[in-house]
Amino acid sequence: MNLSLDGRGTLYEQIARAIKGSILDGQLAGNARLPSTRALAVRLGVARKSVVEAYELLATEGLVTPRVGIGTVVSVPRQSVPSDQRQPSVPPPTRYAARLRALPPITLAGHLAPMRYNLQYGAPFVNPGIYLSWTRKVSAAARRTGPGYGPSVGHPPLRAAVADYLSRRRGVLCEPEDVVIVSGTQQAISLAARVLLNEGDAVAVEDPFYEIAVHALTAHGARIMFVPVDSEGLRVCDISASASARLVLVTPSHQFPSGVVMPLARRLELLQWAASSNAWILEDDYDSEFHGGSRPVATLRSLDLTDRVIYVGSFSKSLFPALRIGYIVCPKALRSDFQRAKRLEDLGTPFLDQVALAHFIQSGLYERQLRRSVREVLRRRRALVDEVGRAMGRHVEMGPHEGGMHLVLWFPLLTSEQLDVVVARAAERGVGVQRVNHYYHVPPRAPGLLLGYASVTPGQIRSAVDILAACLRRL
């Protein structure tokens, strides 16, 4: 018996794996006697203990049997596997797998290369006070929560807390039964696709767009209709011409990534279109907590008289992305469908975190800490706007920046290739920035940068903008 060890894992695992391969490929027949543990150890140049452990492992798997007076023998009949079948053939991909393979890769903020000054979108602002309070709530929840499953649609006190918060802060009047707790906005979009769409159904999506949402819809088999965004948000007149869209995905309170806020008249126009077209609207209210100045414009959901709006939010921006808790406010006609889809998807979002979050909100800590976070993010936003105006004012055009955690800078005097050089030079000097153009289906009129400012202090912002301006001046 010739054994070749593969070097993976412990010695006894390698020995057991080599003998198993000899049995399964037919080199060792049933009732064939294996060498004694001492003899095999000498042959392999290893400690006898490793061979003993390998034989014991094979015995527990039923491949060999120790027999008194005989030794260890093979327990299974000789396998006859043709050599051309030993490498598994790969079946053709399903339509879903083929669509996944065709999608471009996505790099989330947490996976980006570390930079001294990170102005890439998605890097979160984490209020140290929030994180400390949160850890205490999790510890307390662990002492109160049992080890069993929670309700698949969400912890009832959390659903009630979300409904109360939305009614006070966003004018979204709903019952706790309308709320389904999900693992972030991305799962909400995937569930909406499962509940509402068949393969080939058309979905109207803003252009520019949030790429991971579009990927989820594309993987499901949706036919994406990109609808341009102007200074008032999604151009409803451009989807009216194609009333076949079954769903519209929209970010009206702070369009991603342009920053445009959809005014009331355009919101009412969109709602009227959905009612007359028998279509659904998925309203992603992803960062409304960080709206600057006056109270944000009313949500689509709060204006909806025909119950066509699926309202989605999360705690990724207001707390931290690692929490992975969001929510869907379902139209009553779809409530049971979303509940069943969520149950089948994963049996429920992690329950312990839900219990902690419910207490965090009910105690008032969430809103107190959120107010501090909003003030700090606003301070950083003002710093970025001021520093860009000081250092690069005549070279750039600034997009809307009344809310959220990002803004877009346009460079009308540069070509796309020149801006690529600026990005590369900035990275060499420790400033992380990213192009906004790949969020567009139809290329914008000028190259631009999408700047996130949540994770950098005003002092760091000043240094980063100075470096970026110096890279720009070199052109």
Co-location of 386 and 359 in the same domain: no
pLDDT digits (tens, 9 = 90+) for 317-357: 888 888 999 999 999 999 999 999 999 999 999 999 999 99
The DSSP code sequence of 36-74 is PHHHHHHHHTS-HHHHHHHHHHHHHTTSEEEETTTEEEE
Whole-number pLDDT of residue 109: 57
pLDDT digits (tens, 9 = 90+) for 209-221: 999 999 999 999 9
* Alpha-carbon torsion (236, 196, 283, 444), positive or negative: negative
Co-location of 269 and 407 in the same domain: no
pLDDT exceeds 80 at position 294: no
Co-location of 266 and 310 in the same domain: yes
Co-location of 408 and 273 in the same domain: no
Q: At which residue do the structure tokens 């009612």 appear?
A: 275
Which tokens sit at 1?
């018996």
Q: What is the mean pLDDT of residues 162-173?
A: 94
Q: What's the domain count of the chain?
A: 3
173 pLDDT band (50/70/90 cuts)?
very high
Confidence (pTM): 0.86
Q: What is the mean pLDDT of residues 437-465?
A: 95
Please report whether residue 112 resides in a domain. Answer: no
Which tokens sit at 332?
């009553």
pLDDT exceeds 80 at position 438: yes
475 Cβ partners below 8 Å, 6+ apart? Answer: 414, 418, 421, 422
Please report whether residue 279 resides in a domain. Answer: yes
Q: Number of helices (H) and strands (E), helices first, in the chain?
A: 16, 16
pLDDT exceeds 80 at position 293: no
Query: Domain ends where: 309, 339, 363?
Result: 363
Please provide the distance, in angstroms rounded to a whole number, between the alpha carbons at the two ends of the chain. Answer: 70
* Alpha-carbon torsion (317, 172, 379, 262), positive or negative: positive
Q: At which residue do the structure tokens 């890097």 appear?
A: 123
Co-location of 324 and 243 in the same domain: yes
Q: What is the mean pLDDT of the chain?
A: 90
pLDDT exceeds 60 at position 223: yes
Co-location of 142 and 160 in the same domain: yes
pLDDT exceeds 80 at position 256: yes
pLDDT digits (tens, 9 = 90+) for 55-94: 999 999 999 999 988 899 998 776 555 555 556 667 888 8
Whole-number pLDDT of residue 113: 66
Residue type, 403: G
Co-location of 304 and 385 in the same domain: no
Whole-number pLDDT of residue 131: 76
Co-location of 221 and 344 in the same domain: yes
pLDDT exceeds 70 at position 366: yes
Q: What is the mean pLDDT of residues 190-209?
A: 96
pLDDT exceeds 80 at position 159: yes
Whole-number pLDDT of residue 78: 64
Q: What single-letter DSSP state applies at residue 318?
A: T
Count of other CB atoms within 10 angstroms of residue 237: 11
203 pLDDT band (50/70/90 cuts)?
very high
Whole-number pLDDT of residue 126: 78
pLDDT digits (tens, 9 = 90+) for 24-61: 888 888 888 999 999 999 999 999 999 999 999 999 99
21 Cβ partners below 8 Å, 6+ apart? Answer: none
* Least confident window among 1-10, 73-82, 88-97, 411-420: 73-82
Q: Read off the CATH number of the domain in which 273 is found.
A: 3.40.640.10
Co-location of 316 and 421 in the same domain: no
Q: Read off the CATH number of the domain in which 422 is found.
A: 3.90.1150.10
Q: Read off the CATH number of the domain in which 64 is found.
A: 1.10.10.10
Co-location of 333 and 399 in the same domain: no
Co-location of 69 and 147 in the same domain: no
Co-location of 312 and 332 in the same domain: yes
Q: What is the mean pLDDT of residues 204-230?
A: 95
Whole-number pLDDT of residue 401: 87
Whole-number pLDDT of residue 19: 93
- Domain extent, residue 61, equals 11-82
